[in-house]
């Protein structure tokens, strides 16, 4: 008799571990205003994420190639602890660096066929540049939970498996900055959002090199 009880208990424990947690979906549509009230036609460089849930994202590795003096892809999202490789596919030297707060790094000079990596340990938006070529830029968005989406060109997004609760949804684009919206996630109905980013006042500012100095004038 006692044995049967123990058996049942361990069964229910096992089932509790395996069963998926009740979770909700956060989906919606992003729009972005451009100069003169025009709407952006391609929203594929917008990132949407849910802040608040304490769920560790699964580890991930990613690659940004340096090719023909460009970073490809131009934007990636990685979890905290995500390792990004920067292989140089060009026969000239590049110097990948960032001065974005705690995520700052400097991979120094190397060329094809070498690759160096950086592990991003802090959530945030990381601006990545080359210390030789000012036209090279990329973005690494680092998140501390797995609830993010890189928006489709049409502005649609869907984030699944979000734990029920009161959270904050953020949307970001390099030219518009970040917007926030509180949401209530439940496991019974999807949260449907309409988010509008505003890039109409964007002005391009030349970034500095890794020493905080202007790039020398000339052809790059």
Of 54 and 68, the one with the shorter C-beta distance to Cu ion is 68
| SS3 per-residue string spanning 174-209 | CCCEEEEEEEEECCCCCEEEEEEEECCCCCCCCCCC
Under 8 Å between Cβ of 21 and 107: no
Measured CA to CA, the distance from residue 161 to residue 145 in angstroms comes to 11
Among the listed residues 53, 35, 3, 39, the one whose alpha carbon sits nearest the alpha carbon of residue 185:
53
Of 156 and 207, the one with the shorter C-beta distance to Cu ion is 207
Taking the complex as a whole, the smallest distance from the CB of residue 173 to Cu ion amounts, in Å, to 24
* Contact pattern for Cu ion over residues 70 through 99, marking x by CB under 5 A: ------------------------x-----
Q: How many residues sit in the footprint of Cu ion (CB under 5 A)?
A: 4
Restricting to residues 120-149, name those near Cu ion by CB under 5 A.
Answer: 130, 132-133
Residue of minimal Cβ distance to Cu ion: 130
Q: Does 40 bind Cu ion (CB under 5 A)?
A: no
3 state DSSP class of 123:
coil
Residues making contact with Cu ion (CB under 5 A): 94, 130, 132-133
């Amino acid at each position: 008799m006692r044995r049967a009880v123990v058996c049942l208990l361990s069964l229910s424990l096992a089932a509790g571990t395996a069963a998926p947690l009740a979770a909700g979906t956060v989906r919606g549509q992003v729009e972005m205003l451009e100069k003169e009230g025009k709407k952006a036609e391609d929203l594929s460089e917008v990132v949407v994420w849910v802040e608040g849930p304490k769920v560790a994202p699964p580890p991930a590795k990613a690659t940004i190639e340096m090719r023909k003096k460009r970073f490809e892809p131009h934007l990636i999202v990685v979890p905290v602890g995500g390792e990004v490789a920067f292989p140089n596919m060009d026969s000239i030297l590049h110097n990948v660096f960032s001065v974005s707060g705690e995520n700052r790094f400097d991979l120094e000079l190397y060329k094809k066929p070498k690759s160096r990596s950086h592990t991003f340990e802090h959530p945030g938006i990381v601006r990545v540049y080359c210390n030789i070529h000012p036209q090279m830029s990329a973005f690494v968005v680092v998140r501390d939970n797995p609830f993010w989406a890189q928006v489709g060109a049409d502005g649609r997004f869907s984030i699944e498996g979000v734990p029920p609760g009161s959270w904050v949804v953020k949307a970001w684009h390099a030219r518009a900055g970040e917007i926030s919206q509180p949401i209530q996630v439940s496991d019974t109905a999807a949260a449907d959002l309409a988010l509008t980013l505003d890039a109409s006042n964007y002005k391009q500012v030349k970034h500095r090199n890794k020493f905080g100095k202007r790039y020398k004038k000339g052809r790059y």
